[in-house]
Amino acid sequence: DVKVTQSSRYLVKRTGEKVFLECVQDMDHENMFWYRQDPGLGLRLIYFSYDVKMKEKGDIPEGYSVSREKKERFSLILESASTNQTSMYLCASNYDRGLNTIYFGEGSWLTVV
Amino acid sequence: GESVGLHLPTLSVQEGDNSIINCAYSNSASDYFIWYKQESGKGPQFIIDIRSNMDKRQGQRVTVLLNKTVKHLSLQIAATQPGDSAVYFCAENVGSSYKLIFGSGTRLLVRP
């Protein structure tokens, strides 16, 4: 089975803190994604990566950055957390492009106070 | 905590009945579709997919129907069980894009 693992399930951070959300996949997938999910807004793409050290902005990249130093690992970084970044963050991955299912991790619940 | 499900349409069915969840997609160029199930506090879980060159695909207790004429997708769950209670949403992939476009979801409630 595909395994996408998000290391932190629940985090509480203070406004202004730097936050790292880590994600690892074990299927040698080329593509990795970070989404956030909010009530009434559904899933929104923050960033994605199609190869090591490659990244592209999604629909809502402001306030976030990402890092992909190894194929299996994709990190989401909040440089200075704000309360409007309180959300559920979902990492996902899949093989190359097009007709391939995206598999999700279990999610990381971030609360910024 | 529950972050998925506020303001979502809800389908309530009796345990043992069949469920039909619908999804309208927007892009006639979409060529791949996926149904996900999301339980409270968890990430979306892949259920079944279908490519645009097919009209129907069956899995274990689930069937997906695709009507390209009216851009409509449905998920049928046979003999619905309490464990099927979750939010279900469809996703579409357009051409060779990396990205999926997600629907807003439907909450399925199974009455005992």
User: What is the spatial distance between Cα B72 and Cα B52, in angstroms, rounded to a whole number?
Assistant: 11
Q: What is the pLDDT of residue B7?
A: 64
Q: Do B45 and A104 touch (CB under 8 A)?
A: yes
> Which residues on chain A are in Cβ contact (under 8 Å) with B34?
101-102
Interface residue A95 vs chain B (CB under 8 A): no
The shares of helix, strand and coil residues in chain B, as percent rounded to the nearest 5, are: 5, 55, 45
CB-based burial of residue B104 (10 Å sphere; 0-12 exposed, 13-18 middle, 19+ buried)? Answer: middle
- Assess whether pLDDT exceeds 80 at residue A1: no
Average pLDDT for residues A47-74, to the nearest whole number? 95
- Domains belonging to chain A, first-starting first, are 4-95 (2.60.40.10)
Q: What is the pLDDT of residue A95?
A: 85
Q: Do B4 and A37 touch (CB under 8 A)?
A: yes
Give Cα separations from B106 to A54, A71, B28, B42, B74 (angstroms). 35, 34, 22, 16, 11
Our CA-based measurement puts residue B15 at a distance from the nearest CA of chain A, in whole angstroms, of: 27
Q: What are the extents of the domains in chain B?
A: 10-111
Which strand ranges, in their side-by-side order, compose the sheet holding A4-6?
A4-6, A19-25, A73-78, A65-70
Q: What is the pLDDT of residue B4?
A: 40
Task: Look at residue B98 and give its three-state secondary structure.
Answer: coil
Mean pLDDT of residues grouped by 10 in chain B (112 residues)?
Answer: 57 97 90 93 93 95 96 96 95 77 91 92
For A79-98, the pLDDT digits (tens) are 999 999 999 999 999 987 65
Interface residue A74 vs chain B (CB under 8 A): no
Q: What is the pLDDT of residue B104?
A: 84
Interface residue A31 vs chain B (CB under 8 A): yes
In angstroms and rounded to an integer, the radius of gyration of the C-alpha atoms of chain A is 13
For A96-111, the pLDDT digits (tens) are 765 678 899 999 999 9
Rounded percentage of chain B residues whose pLDDT exceeds 70: 92
The mean pLDDT of chain A is 93
For A52-63, the pLDDT digits (tens) are 999 999 999 999
Structure tokens at A68: 């992909």
Which residues pair with residue B14 across a beta bridge?
B111
Q: What is the pLDDT of residue B65?
A: 97
* Architecture field, domain B10-111: Sandwich (2.60)
Amino acid at B78: A
> Which residues on chain B are in Cβ contact (under 8 Å) with A31?
98
